[in-house]
Chain A
Amino acid sequence: LAKTTQPISMDSYEGQEVNITCSHNNIATNDYITWYQQFPSQGPRFIIQGYKTKVTNEVASLFIPADRKSSTLSLPRVSLSDTAVYYCLVGDRRSSGSARQLTFGSGTQLTVLP
């Protein structure tokens, strides 16, 4: 599994754009980059996934440079309710015919301030 490195914590203010960068120098050719969000005492929630260039959905954008050694999750105009832990996941263990096994790291604690 490719190791990921992301900041332990970040602070932002309401209405700002937040960018969380994840480093994954050992990403494999077949690996996708997946981001999850987790609120306290809740299960993580899938946000976005990408392989290269840019992916955008109604919640966030994901920017992946050509070398794919890093990725940036962009949250536009954050609100207080975006305060959560954000996880970057790269690669997964999977034996033939079986389910993918996602491994979560420590994530980035984003705190949005009023």
Chain B
Amino acid sequence: DAMVIQNPRYQVTQFGKPVTLSCSQTLNHNVMYWYQQKSSQAPKLLFHYYDKDFNNEADTPDNFQSRRPNTSFCFLDIRSPGLGDAAMYLCATSRIQGSGANVLTFGAGSRLTVL
């Protein structure tokens, strides 16, 4: 089945120790997103790739970086995690073709704990 796969599902790190989360997709979607979601809050968009074009949200801290080496993979790097970065990180994909519904397909998420 075509899908969005995130690894790891659970990540525990120490304060300040870098973390990399990965996302792969077999849907051949041209857009990939990284969202941060804290308990009982809406997902917050960190950045997205439209094909190879990187789009950073204005309020995304510099501590968060991303790489998309090819259309199937995307990585989220947290350079120096703080306690406030503990959250669920959601990768999503969509196929945007002109106007119309931009339906997102989400991976299962990576839950980050910072000690």
A, B from the same assembly: no
**B residues with CB within 8 A of A:** none
